[in-house]
A and B are shown apart, each in its own frame.
Chain A
Amino acid sequence: MLDIIVQVFPYAIAFTIPLLITALGGLFSERSGVVNIGLEGLMVVGFFVGALVTAKLEVFIPGSAVWFGLLAAFIAGALFSLLHAFASINLNANQVISGTAINMIAGALTVYLARNITGSGNIHIIHGMVRRNIPVLDKIPILGKLFFTQTYATTWLVLAILFGSWFILYKTAFGLRLRACGEHPQAADSAGVNVYRIRYLAVMISGAFAGLGGGIILVTYSGEFNGSVAGLGFLALAALIFGQWKPLGILGATFFFGFASTIANVSQVIPTLSRIPGIILKNFPYLVTLIVLVIFSKSSHAPRASGEPYDKGKR
């Protein structure tokens, strides 16, 4: 049993981390009052740009090309999210439609550009991120094997971002103002807070984080850009709801999804699991999400003003 867990663990983590960072991005956006359904598309953008930059650079700097790729993914995500920010904040567009449009534009545009570059539409990178053991900590019995051997640097990066996000959201003035914008923008406005500016920042953060998530998929387990992130962006949204819009809750939720999906993927290899029909294993994360959504519907702590365009004229 323990063996199975140890075997499965690294894959589960690899799946969880991009989900986690994307969900964190969604957290910032929604907490400021803007629903961002476009996380999927923003991940794809990061996926694409990350692949492009890494592939081009690794000819020159094989070791650190991945980091530049990740940085590029981060920035690209932030920039692309401006489309959603502009539509939702300045123009009071329907945020769900705008987000869906982002998904569709990103999906089509990246494949179009990739096709122009490589003909097949797939961009391959040679050197992904290297896995390392953490010295000292990896000698701890059981935990050492699970958490500190063969880890990606990006895992630790994302966890650092998680902690940073928690701090920013709950301990800083910016976080207080951001949360106010998501609960009662009129109150924030009359207190002198620039609601538009904060929402813009929040959406850009969500774009940056989602882009980074897409980049992390590339350098950890995918290895090549293939046009889709298989619904991870939406799963991140579900994790956001599951985690009740709190950083720690999201950690738990994404971890759960990571595990559930990984089990489905590796089930053939593990004897005990291979007896469960594939159809159930594969659908398991989605079914659970539906159940979770139902359970959490009553006690929802969704930010009150989330999804509503802020209209200065209304009082």
Chain B
Amino acid sequence: MEYIVEMSNVRKEFPGIVANDDITLQLKQGEIHALLGENGAGKSTLMSILFGLYQPDQGTIKIRGEEVNIANPNIANELGIGMVHQHFKLVHNFTVTENIILGMEPKRGFTVQLKTASARVRELSEKYGLNVEPDAKIEDISVGMQQRVEILKMLYRNAEVLIFDEPTSVLTPQEIQELMKIMRNLIAEGKSIILITHKLKEIKAIADRCTVIRRGKVIGTVDVGSTTEARMAEMMVGREVTFKVAKELRKPGPVILKVCDLTVQNNRKVLGLKKFSLEVRSGEIVGVAGVDGNGQAELVEAISGLRKAESGQVHLKEKDITQMSVGDRIRSGMAFIPEDRHKHGLILDYSVEENLVLKLYKQEPYSKKGLLNKESIHQHAEEVIAEFDIRAGQGVSSSTRSLSGGNQQKAIVGREIDLNPELLIAVQPTRGLDVGAIEYIHKRLVEQRDKGKAVLLISLELDEILNLSDRIAVINSGELVGTVDAAATNENEIGLMMAGVKRGEKIEA
């Protein structure tokens, strides 16, 4: 049999949507097969079926030539299929070993044999070059190591087919290189890999073949070596995609945001941000690049007023706002698009019109002397959804929960831009969105810059930073590594800075 995994004509429907429509996927033994598609195309659903989390409505799955019914993850494990999830499934206060053996604990009588298990984990870790400490607690180890624990989970269960779901979003460029090395090791040991991703560069770097999915259907399976990135992108989106955003050449104006030596403590009572300084002028986009968890959250919280700084100042248009409340800062001309639109951006149980007035409700004409003016609120919302092309089933009185992710994000963007702020802070503004929505939001951000606003962009997607920013500041371990002109740098240099190597320094070999 040629294929180790063969999913044929798989169909999976959820209420209102066909997630997988007649999909056929074939994985050869010993290959790295990429599954490419936009957010929401159906890749994760397909793999969840393979891993036993969902059942297909139609279609067959063959493993090593035999037809199987994968009813739950246990059966998938028995068949030799393992999955490294995008959101790690690790218990934070268990040790590495406890996490790995969960569900198949080695026992003697009633007692769990932790020591034996720990030794086996160490053995596996060394065999595959994973460098994982078996007795460390998950909450104490780095994100990169956590991911390797997920890999170990699969290897402990003797997985032959390894599925990686968007594995590189939490890694530095250098860690991504390490991961690719590990993947090649695994292939050399006889494993086969399915890589779910929307990152073309990575597919080109490591995959043998690639199946492209769009809106639940397979568009085609290509040989990666002989297909260009542009072609794959076109298959993914359905039209020609330009990655560059057209930017006018502009001369930035006066300094709008000035951050001086800002030092901030985080929830773990450690300094998350150390003596950070930054300037953003009107008419420019400053991007902050860095691996997740290196101080970006503390930076945003301190600038927006959600968290008090230990020392340092924040100035908005020459005014010292370091002691100001969140509300006052908003009124001074600051707007932000937060990282998590469900948690921080919107009140999902409120209607669209109620959300759009979230920062304005205290001002006239939306309220007077404590009484809300429903007419004005309604009117305002109508204007905003027209201006920003927000699609909502029942117009402005729709429950915000019922909007799609893209429209929810547009609602937030619309709300903030509508405030006409001097400073717009955008944190991960295109997370989880499809290409169309991403293009739209990028366009809007550049538009604000062209209008003379100051834009601070914080993102984990290097491409986004490189595309949009005029200047780039790199943050690592809470410190400013350096600031560079976007036009004068490249991904490699930024990658090194993200790992803490300052410009001009040599890396220890």
Contact = CB atoms under 8 A, between A and B. Distances in A.
Nearest to B90: A187
A32 to B, nearest CB: 13
A190 B85 contact: yes
A183 B104 contact: no
Contact of B91 (A171, A187, A192): A187
B74 interface: yes
Contact of A187 (B74, B99, B101, B104): B99
A176 B105 contact: yes
A176 B98 contact: yes
A221 B162 CA distance: 61
Contacts of B102: 176-177, 180, 187-188, 191, 193
Contacts of A172: 110-112
A187 B110 contact: no
Contacts of A167: 110
Interface in B72-91: 72-74, 77, 83, 85, 87, 89-91
B504 interface: no
A184 interface: yes
A150 to B, nearest CB: 35
A29 interface: no
Nearest to B100: A191
Contacts of A179: 91, 94
Nearest to B99: A187
Nearest to B107: A173
B218 to A, nearest CB: 23
B92 interface: yes
Given A176-B98, A184-B91, A191 B103 contact: yes
B392 interface: no
Interface string A174-209: 001101100110111111110000000000000000
B89 A184 contact: yes
A315 interface: yes
Nearest to B102: A191
Given A190-B53, A192-B73, A173 B105 contact: yes
Interface in A212-262: none
A172 B112 CA distance: 5
B98 A184 contact: no
Contact of A188 (B51, B74, B103, B107): B103
Interface residues of B, number: 28
A191 B93 contact: no
A127 interface: no
B92 A193 contact: no
Given A187-B102, A188-B102, A193-B103, A176 B89 contact: no
A180 B83 CA distance: 19
Nearest to B86: A315
A145 interface: no
A179 B90 CA distance: 12
A180 to B, nearest CB: 5
Interface string B259-296: 00000000000000000000000000000000000000
B92 A177 contact: no
B74 A180 contact: no
Given A187-B89, A192-B77, A173 B94 contact: no
A191 B91 CA distance: 11
Given A183-B93, A184-B92, A192 B110 contact: no
B162 to A, nearest CB: 14
A25 to B, nearest CB: 21
Contact of A190 (B89, B93, B112): B89
Interface in B103-133: 103-105, 107, 110-112
A124 interface: no
B112 A191 contact: no
Given A192-B72, A192-B77, A192-B104, A171 B111 contact: yes
A299 to B, nearest CB: 11
B111 A192 contact: no
A282 interface: no
B87 A315 contact: yes
A183 B153 CA distance: 18
Contacts of A184: 89-92
A193 B103 CA distance: 6
B74 A192 contact: yes
Given A171-B110, A172-B110, A187-B102, A304 B92 contact: yes
Interface string B395-430: 000000000000000000000000000000000000
A299 B163 CA distance: 38
B237 to A, nearest CB: 24
A173 B89 contact: no
A13 B357 CA distance: 59
B73 A190 contact: yes
Nearest to A184: B91
Given A187-B102, A190-B53, A191-B103, A176 B90 contact: no
A43 B506 CA distance: 69
Contacts of B90: 184, 187
Nearest to B109: A172
Contacts of A304: 92
Interface string A50-66: 00000000000000000
A186 B89 CA distance: 6
A173 B109 CA distance: 10
A213 B91 CA distance: 32
Contacts of A177: 102-103
A202 B376 CA distance: 53
A315 B92 CA distance: 17
Interface in A60-98: none
B53 A183 contact: no
A304 B101 CA distance: 20
Q: Which of A180, A183, A191 has the most CB of B within 10 A?
A: A191
Contacts of A192: 72-74, 77, 103-104
Contacts of A173: 105, 107, 112
Contacts of A190: 51, 53, 73, 83, 85, 89
B41 to A, nearest CB: 16
Given A177-B102, A315-B87, 20 more contacts: A167-B110, A171-B111, A172-B110, A172-B111, A173-B105, A173-B107, A176-B94, A176-B105, A176-B112, A179-B94, A180-B91, A180-B102, A183-B94, A184-B89, A187-B91, A188-B102, A190-B53, A191-B89, A192-B74, A193-B102
Interface of B: 44, 51, 53, 72-74, 77, 83, 85, 87, 89-94, 98-99, 101-105, 107, 110-112, 153
Interface of A: 167, 171-173, 176-177, 179-180, 183-184, 186-193, 304, 315
**3 closest cross-chain pairs (CB), A and B:** A191-B103, A187-B89, A192-B74
13 contacts: A171-B110, A172-B110, A176-B105, A176-B112, A180-B102, A184-B90, A186-B87, A187-B99, A187-B102, A188-B91, A191-B73, A191-B104, A315-B44
